Amino acid sequence: MARLCCAGLLGSCLAFGFGVSEGMARTRATAVAAAQAAPSASVNPCGLVTVKQMQSLTHRNVRKRTLAPLGPTCIYVFNGSPQEVTISVEHASFSQLTRQMRKRKRVTVLRRQAYCGEVGQATLYVSLPSGRVLDVVAGCSVGQRIAAIAVARLGA
């Protein structure tokens, strides 16, 4: 039975053989196409938040951290939980990505414009300089704390 993948980029999900729901694929299709059109500028998303920081922020033990080549996307897998947290930096239109969100809520991360909402599952988008967007797939409050560390590490 295929796992349903809502985390990170759709291309990463397909590359790793995860199933993608038809509704989720339609919801993210435009946003993913824009994100994949131009690759991110050599940012390793796994270098933005350490395993120790992720464990502290989520209060869960990280079983595995994987760099998925498409995106690229960093995937954090936790012990005893099917839920994953993903981080990626994409060249994409912030406004186009946020328009795809349901239950959208404006927030700030280190004085940067950001939105929490649902894109298949809980997602946080943070506007970065040079047409980049930080994408954190996690609940809003945890996502904001993860994003603050990532944005600081990016120097944005």
Rounded distance between C-alpha atoms, residue 77 and residue 153, angstroms: 22
Residue 30: domain span? 10-154
Domain count, the chain: 1
Determine, yes or no, domain membership for 110: yes
Predicted local distance difference test score (pLDDT) of residue 70? 82
Rounded distance between C-alpha atoms, residue 142 and residue 129, angstroms: 23
Q: What's this model's pTM, rounded to 2 decimal places?
A: 0.74
Q: What is the CATH number of the domain that holds 84?
A: 3.40.1000
Average confidence score pLDDT of the chain:
80
pLDDT per position as a tens digit, 48-100 = 999 999 999 999 999 999 999 888 999 999 998 888 999 999 999 999 999 99
Q: Which residue has the tokens 């951290």?
A: 65
pLDDT-derived band at 104, boundaries 50, 70, 90:
very high
Determine, yes or no, domain membership for 41: yes
Q: How far are the Cα atoms of 47, 74, 87, 89 from residue 43, in angstroms, in the given order?
A: 8, 11, 11, 7
Determine, yes or no, domain membership for 79: yes
Determine, yes or no, domain membership for 2: no
Determine, yes or no, domain membership for 3: no
pLDDT-derived band at 13, boundaries 50, 70, 90:
very low
Q: In what order do the strands lie in the sheet with 112-118?
A: 62-68, 73-78, 84-91, 132-137, 122-128, 112-118, 102-109
Q: Which residue has the tokens 């600081």?
A: 152
Determine, yes or no, domain membership for 1: no
Determine, yes or no, domain membership for 142: yes
Determine, yes or no, domain membership for 147: yes
Check pLDDT > 70 for residue 10.
no
Rounded distance between C-alpha atoms, residue 71 and residue 39, angstroms: 7
Predicted local distance difference test score (pLDDT) of residue 82? 87
